Chain A
Amino acid sequence: MEIYLILIIPVVLAIISALVEKPVIAGTITTIGYGVELLISFCFANKILAVKHFSEAIFYADALSAFFILTVSLITFASALYSISFIEKDVQNKKFPESQSKIYYLLFNLFTFSMYLVTLVNNLGFVWIAIEMTTLASAFLVGFYNSKHSVEAAWKYIIICSVGITLALLGTILFYYTVSHDGGIKSLNWTDFISVASKLDGHIIKIAFLFILVGYGTKAGLAPMHTWLPDAHSQAVTPISALLSGVLLKTSVYAIMRFAIVTNKAIGSGYTSHLFVFFGLISITVAAVFVLVQKDLKRLLAYSSVEHIGIIVLGLGFGGPIGCYGALLHTFNHAATKAVMFFGAGEIIEKYNTHNMRKIKGAVKAIPFAGVFTIITAFALSGMPPFSVFFSEMAVLYAGFVKGSYMASVVYIFVLAVVFYGLVEHIAGISFGKKPEDMIASKDPSITKAAFIFLFVFVCVSGFLFPGFFNSLLKAASGILLGNI
């Protein structure tokens, strides 16, 4: 029952917001809708813990799906809340006409609908279609301002991601081939894949998984296929940037996880583990270099997303109960932290009217609320204790040592230190110092403040102080990653 509600609410919201004229009203309705959605996904996760898994018609959900749904709901709710005043301000500043805000909310809702769809369908072909849908729905949101920069970013986004996803389709077809040929089942359902996993042809599986990893990895922002990501994330409307970084990348990781579980069951975990560690380390390293030399505030955050996706994948690669647990926990922590960070960056950019970090000084004074949150969250994002990201990063590191991958672990910790330096230095540079003479300090609307505070609670506590419910959900989800279906 909950499954249908989770999918119906965004569709209904999309229809409503396409009809409502005033952006504030559309935003408020959307926010309320996602508040309800958050409650439902919470109940759904609770239910899943009791019954292990749901399987109805084309839908299938287990603890892993429930975990991702909860994460998506959380970030979507916060972005919707943040959108209300952000879109209103953009309309007032004549960045786009009021009539266009309808399109924004329509696409916003379709975009989130497609992300929920990814986590809920059983059929891996439909997972593919849902992921492609996320690209199509968000392409116009990336190019929303219709400037040279944003159209260029949108073009690269849609072209590169479509190529990636085509390769992923080829991978899916190869999986289907061996499942129907060696397994004897003509079906694309994930549950069927798992049930015949031991009979599959390891040779084909290896090649197919490589296509899957490269294909969905493109969408997930793994280096060296990440080139679209900084462009798209920096040019999108800010609440959408938060969604792109916070959860869109994760839905692709989710698809990779599903295939990895089948692959591990068929040929053992050594193969996927090596690939994950390789791509994870490359992503973190590439991101670190670009974080150091970055000038554009939103691109800085985009590269930081490449780094964090690398950490998640590295956690999967190190594997074991701790590695998988750490990877999932990091998924959640990064989503919450990066969304707050993008909200802060959005406020600062709006105030100073530039992306260039060298032209921004004294943000804490010019825009006190968002400025303070930005600098604190920058510390959280770069992995300083006692914030949540620190704990999941340490879990991944610990998993590395447990597994005995000392080289990889040492590289990992070194690069983390580099990123820490780069990120904190940049953000401190824009936060402190003198604000421009003629600039008047401004206050954020209370609705925006609510969005910040709501997510910040999770940034602070989800590392060490989480309720038993959250812990058992994570344990169940990482159990599924380890193959205890």
Chain B
Amino acid sequence: MNFFIFGIFVMTFLMVIAKRMTALITGFCLQSFFLFGCVLFIAYRSADNGMYVLAGLIFTLKVIAIPLFLRWVIKKINTNEDLGLLVNPVLSLFLVIILTVLSYYFAKEIVVLKENLVITSFAVSLSVTFTGLFIMVTRRKAVAQIVGLLLMENGVFLTATTLCGGMPFLMEIAVFFDIFIIVVILGIFVYRINELFTHIDVNKLTKLRG
């Protein structure tokens, strides 16, 4: 368990220092793989069939389908690989570390149970969520915002799993379906933006003001 949480944690930092889109997507793919391992481990421990299904869903959707789809979109729009960093990798890393430390104290405040593993994993999931938000704000390309959103969802999902032992099964399935639809819709819009503006730099989308 600790190993998987650690993996998710490290992948988050790798995503923060990524400069190219494919690197970011690979980071997301690997992180989802660790998330898959984490859920599989919990499923094994609790012998819960629903959890096995969930692990399978994570593997097919987050580890395979979504990264493939995003790569396909990038290839299709034929843009340069640069993410358009507003904050350079070193400073980003520094800021995210601060976010992580804050998450840890926050988690310690909230969790009543003094079980160490719960606190750690909750802190990690919070920091993943906030890192997702951070990436969305400080990277200029549309694809980076999609990955940031996915990262946030990963964090929230990890919170649900580690803190509450998962949400009701039907709800989890619905959330997954929802994520998949969002990514497809966002992919379509990236395609349209590229067609209309001939770039996918969302910071330059400033026609609407005031």
Residues of A within 8 A of B (CB): 123, 125-126, 129, 132-133, 136, 139-140, 143, 146-149, 151-156, 158-159, 162-163, 166, 169-170, 173-174, 176-177, 180-181, 186-188, 201, 203-204, 207, 230-231, 234-235, 290, 293-296, 299
Contacts and interface: CB of A to CB of B under 8 A. Distances in A.
B112 interface: yes
A234 B208 CA distance: 10
A303 to B, nearest CB: 10
Contacts of B16: none
A129 B174 contact: yes
Contacts of A132: 178, 182
B196 A177 contact: no
B149 interface: yes
A207 B110 contact: yes
Nearest to B106: A207
Nearest to A182: B112
Interface of B: 109-110, 112-113, 129, 133, 136, 142, 145, 149, 152-153, 156, 159-160, 163-164, 167-168, 171, 174-175, 178, 181-182, 185-186, 189, 192-193, 196-197, 202, 205, 207-208, 210
B120 to A, nearest CB: 16
A176 to B, nearest CB: 6
A154 B189 contact: yes
B175 A129 contact: yes
A188 B189 contact: no
A290 B182 contact: no
A201 B164 contact: no
A181 to B, nearest CB: 7
Contacts of B112: 181, 201, 204
Given A155-B193, A176-B167, A166 B110 contact: no
Contact of A136 (B156, B168, B181, B193): B181
Contact of B152 (A123, A166, A201, A299): A166
B114 to A, nearest CB: 13
Contacts of B168: 123, 125, 186-188
A187 B197 CA distance: 47
Contacts of B174: 125-126, 129
Contacts of B145: 159
A140 B186 CA distance: 11
B13 to A, nearest CB: 21
Contact of A151 (B149, B164, B186, B196): B196
Nearest to A139: B185
B136 A163 contact: yes
Contact of B110 (A136, A174, A230, A296): A174
A136 B185 contact: yes
Contacts of B202: 155
A155 B110 contact: no
A146 B159 contact: no
Counting chain A CB atoms within 10 Å of each CB, which of B152, B178, B193 scores highest? Answer: B178
